[in-house]
Amino acid sequence: MAFSIYDFTDLAQSIHNGLSSSLTPVWTTVIEWAIIGILYILFVALFGLFLVYAERKVCAAIQQRIGPNRVGPYGFIQTIADFIKLLMKEIINPKGVDHFLYNLAPYIVIATVFIIISMFPFAPGLQSFDFDIGVFFVTAVSSVGVIGILLAGWSSNNKYSLIGGIRSGAQIISYELSVGLSLITMIILSGTMQISGIVNGQADGWFLFKGHIPAFIAFVIFIIAGTAETNRGPFDLPEGESELTGGFHTEYSGIKFAFFFLAEYMNLFIVAAMVTIVFLGGWQPLHFGTGNGFNAAMDLLPPIIWFFLKVCTIILLIMWFKWTFPRLRVDQILTLEWKYLLPINLFNIILMSVVVLMGWHW
């Protein structure tokens, strides 16, 4: 079986050929789907737990505390213990809930996470789907997640949950505009919506540098809007513990609460991964021009390491936002989007179009 940490194409082809040689095409497809599904489940569970641990440690460092330090070395097993605790907790259905929608909501939220992650190229040959409208598909599926949040808030028969769901819906729908427009700005530069095409187009330089000022403006707006879409601080009004006790998931317990909790952190990964793919070259190493010693040195690090280094850097930046800035009021959140980010985005699309038309990018 061929294997290279720099390119997983041969490994994937070897597995496919091995299964095809002894199984029918139908069973080959079924087993391949099962393998991919299990790998994604393990990735979401393990990386989600790592993000929870990282959040606690980053928060502790900013607040000059130690953070988790008892369960396991440096408290690393603490999040696993918390996850086991959630699995063992009793699932309580409050009186008066709409049982079908109440039980459906967490599955909608977590399902969108798996669908979106399946589109990401972690390294060459390590991508499940690669549509020619990949960026559009990701934004379309991500907008479905808000349906689960609205259903959770409405079906819980709790006024705090309802207010949290409505706040989240208004916030996510508003900031989806800025996310979409900033992506359109970069699509104009790349000339394609296919995710692999966007990554390959940055082999000789990341779009953040190649697109000059419009790319940097789109980069800043995407991080701000992406942070708001994930309901993270300082845009965490839908889950404001000080006034809504927990927001749209107040009435959830056990594994259903764990789905919402895990989806929030994996949405953080999704935002960071999209920033990495669209602005920072995805798994592409840092290159300046072609054919020099610097580029050769950068190529020594495997692409999958490059991808996760960039993702973790963006995640750290977003966590820094949460524990630095105070929570905004709902009118301030919507004012920021409709009066500032949206007009800047519209102007930036025109600016990027001029840059591409005149050939001022490199």
Q: Convert the pLDDT of each residue in 119-135 to its tens digit.
A: 999 988 888 888 888 89
Query: CB neighbours (10 Å) of residue 262?
Result: 24
Asked whether the predicted pLDDT for residue 1 surpasses 80, the reply is no
What percent of the chain has a predicted confidence (pLDDT) above 90? Answer: 40
- Of the candidates 5, 6, 9, 361, the residue with the CA atom closest to the CA atom of residue 206: 361
Give tens-digit pLDDT for 153-171: 889 888 888 888 888 888 8
Asked whether the predicted pLDDT for residue 19 surpasses 70, the reply is yes
Confidence tier at 347 by pLDDT (50, 70, 90): very high
pLDDT of amino acid 274? 95
Q: What is the C-alpha to C-alpha distance for residues 317 and 322, in angstroms, rounded to an integer? A: 9
Confidence tier at 211 by pLDDT (50, 70, 90): confident
60, with CB counted inside 10 A (0-12, 13-18, 19+), is middle
Q: What is the C-alpha to C-alpha distance for residues 223 and 314, in angstroms, rounded to an integer? A: 9
Any idea which residue has 């991500």 for tokens? 142
Residue 211 contacts residue 219 (beta carbons within 8 Å): no
pLDDT of amino acid 8? 85
pTM above 0.85, yes or no: yes
Lowest mean pLDDT among 108-117, 137-146, 217-226, 289-298: 289-298
Per the model's pLDDT, the better-predicted residue between 317 and 250 turns out to be 317
CA 116 to chain centre: 8
pLDDT of amino acid 326? 85
Paired tokens of 22: 């002894």
**Per-residue b or e along 288-304, where b marks 16 or more CB atoms closer than 10 Å to that residue's CB:** eeeeeeebeeeeeebbb
Asked whether the predicted pLDDT for residue 184 surpasses 90, the reply is yes
pLDDT of amino acid 255? 86
Q: What is the C-alpha to C-alpha distance for residues 262 and 322, in angstroms, rounded to an integer? A: 17
Confidence tier at 243 by pLDDT (50, 70, 90): low
Confidence tier at 362 by pLDDT (50, 70, 90): low
pLDDT of amino acid 17? 87
Q: Kindly give the residue spans of alpha helices, DSSP state H, lying in the chain.
A: 9-22, 25-62, 78-88, 99-117, 134-142, 145-155, 159-190, 195-200, 207-210, 212-229, 241-244, 254-279, 293-298, 303-322, 330-335, 342-358
Q: In sequence order, which residues have a C-beta less than 8 Å from that of residue 349 and are 6 or more positions away?
A: 181, 184, 185, 188
Determine if the peptide bond prior to 234 is cis (ω within 30°): yes
Asked whether the predicted pLDDT for residue 291 surpasses 70, the reply is no
Confidence tier at 195 by pLDDT (50, 70, 90): very high
pLDDT of amino acid 199? 92
Residue 230 contacts residue 238 (beta carbons within 8 Å): no
Average pLDDT score over the chain:
88
Give tens-digit pLDDT for 75-129: 888 888 988 888 888 888 888 888 899 889 999 999 999 999 999 999 888 888 8
Asked whether the predicted pLDDT for residue 202 surpasses 80, the reply is yes
**Per-residue b or e along 157-186, where b marks 16 or more CB atoms closer than 10 Å to that residue's CB:** ebebbbbbbbbbbbbbebbbbbbbbbbbbb
- Of the candidates 193, 197, 236, 181, the residue with the CA atom closest to the CA atom of residue 353: 181
